[in-house]
Structure 1
């Protein structure tokens, strides 16, 4: 019985030493303006973070996993308007990314893999589709200026 009690106590004590040290942290510019805020676990960024420009506008926001950008992120201009948004996986840009004009209209959206264009890129003018491009490992391999030509040569299910 005593042995069992000592063993249970050791297991509990060992688990207490492995407890994560999760805390909410704020970082500041030398001027004293808030630069970033979010969760840290064992000195690694974890969970939701926000970053600010020195003029106090939001610069970017999104999630971290083990100090790497993960899931959906938003990026803003110095004036605070949306500049781009998209997915990260294990710190790399992946999937569809949307890019905006300075007045907040969609400029283009592209499929990315490992931080480079890889797949389709759709370009817009005055919020209307103006052309489509196809990329492989960051290099443009084809461009279309009509939806009919694009549709004829491509499988539209690839746009998901």
Structure 2
């Protein structure tokens, strides 16, 4: 008995208590009783990993929070579990590359965003093939190209990273 108790106490002290680090695990439910959302609250602010659900029980979105702001990589899904969009958040705003999907769950376009606006390149696809490229500054379209050769004549391909 004593060795098992000693082992458990040592393990707890060594690994720490995850609930102390992340706060309290929160679950919210729809009036139907189905799970609506779940994740960590620390000082009444969303933190760490959160998952949201459609009323049919399928995942609607998932990602991380830091002090009630979305951060890092997030994924969004349709009510039928098809990908809808996914990308990076920084300080609660969409940033960097984002993927947007069509109704079949195939990539429709991917865009560079800054503070929630298109800012950089946006690549548009048709039947999973690159159809055109657009360039945006502060949400306004500057130009669109329909061939890779015309695009590369005017742009640095390394900017697509």
User: Could you state the TM-score of these two structures normalised by the residue count of structure 1?
Assistant: 0.86
Q: Could you tell me how far apart the structure 1 residues matched to 2:41 and 2:22 are? A: 8
Deviates further, 44-53 or 23-32: 23-32
Q: Give the C-alpha shift of residue 50 in structure 1.
A: 0.2
Give 1:88's aligned residue: 89
Within 5 A, what are the aligned runs for 1:1-160? 22-160=23-161
Q: Separation in 2 of the partners of 1:130 and 1:86?
A: 21
Contact 2:22–2:48 (8 Å) recurs in 1: no
Classify 1:24/1:47 alpha carbon distance in 2 versus 1 (closer, same or farther; 3 Å). Answer: same
Q: Name whichever of 21-30 and 37-46 sits farther off.
A: 21-30
Equivalents in 2 of 1:21, 1:104: separation in Å?
33
Stretches of structure 2 that go unaligned for 5 or more consecutive residues are 1-19
Number of aligned pairs? 142
Partners in 1 of 2:153 and 2:109 — Cα distance? 21
Moved over 4 A (4+): none
Q: CA RMSD in A?
A: 1.2
C-alpha distance 37-105 of structure 1, shift in aligned 2 (>3 A):
same
- What is the CA-CA distance between 1:21 and the residue it aligns to? 7.7
Distance, in Å, in 2 between the alignment partners of 1:34 and 1:111 is 33
5+ long unaligned stretches in structure 1:
1-18
Distance 1:133 1:26, change over 3 A: same
Q: Tell me what 1:10 maps to.
A: none
